[in-house]
Amino acid sequence: MTATQTSPSAPPTSGSGENGGPLSRLSAQNTGLLLAWLLAAVMLVLYLVLFAARKSALPGNFELTSTVNNAVPLVFAALGQTFPVLTSGLDLSVGGVMDVSNSLAATQMGTGVGSILLWTVLILLFGAATGLVNGLLVAYGRLQPILVTLGTLAILQGIALKVLPQPGGTTPPLVTRTLSNPDAPYGLILVALACALWFVARRTTFGMRIYAVGNDRIAARARGIPVRRTLVLAYVTSGTFAAAAGLMLAATTTGGDAASGDVFTLISIAAVVIGGVSLFGGRGSGIGAILGAFVLTLLINVLFFASIDPLFQPFYEGVFLVLAAALTALAGYWLRRRRIERSQR
């Protein structure tokens, strides 16, 4: 070997090299998701401890099943919200779609299987159509998502009140037994379905385009990605999931209320943020949004068993959301700093 030759470099050991080891890279790329798992675990432990302190026993099958059933509408609403957020957009019409879906399910569905299936399809198509309108206005009309979907929300709230002026109606018993049975773990099946839908969508061309558009629209367009079509499909997906969430809310409440979905507009965004999905687009996971939905559901239980006055619960929920978002941002910043420092060594 001559003096000018160099010996082959040894393979980098774990934790060394330009980008660090595999664990370091995985942590940097999935900071929000890892924190969502941590928050979900902490919240579950708090719930179990407070429940045991109040009842002198651990939650049984009924309590755990009810918790899952209560989380399912938010799980689907948050998962749908994930798609426009990943494109650096936002869908404020989620609550309005749920209002209309809930009202239609409680007033139009008959008790027969045929009627249930027909109205389920129609409600899902209504959600998709709402998302289509939002997507066209955002992608082709070049309007701001927050303005478009806020206007759509107001229109949908009016439609829901027209369908059901006063709370009432009845969700068919078959729908309640199928989607929200307190004696059977059907809610877990629905959560598993939501996770499966995300894994499938994430690995399709559509899923990859969502991330590309959210990261850099100009670069995505230069690579031949149909940016406008991808944006439209993101909002169509959000609307469809919101309609499904409205159906599940109707099954959980066993009745209709034209304003029952309003609260999901903001808490679906909160679940997405807690789940580590970046509001700037291009980063995050639908699994994180699902975990965020469970964190918020468990938070309500924790506040209840902690004997917090219901009037002050929104305050504590807001504080928790701010702290969780700040924790995610700080953890991401710390991991990025570590990667930069390692690359400079």
Q: What is the pLDDT of residue 224?
A: 93
Pick the closest to residue 259 from 95, 75, 127, 92 (CA basis). Answer: 95
Positions of the chain with pLDDT lower than 50, given as ranges: 1-20, 22-26, 28
Q: What is the pLDDT of residue 318?
A: 85
Q: What is the pLDDT of residue 233?
A: 96
Terminal alpha carbon distance of the chain? 28
Cα distance between residue 172 and residue 111, in whole Å: 5
Q: What is the pLDDT of residue 1?
A: 45
Q: What is the pTM of this model?
A: 0.87
Q: What is the pLDDT of residue 55?
A: 87
Q: What is the pLDDT of residue 192?
A: 95
Q: What is the pLDDT of residue 22?
A: 47
Largest Cα–Cα separation, the chain:
89
Domains of the chain: 32-331 (1.10.3470)
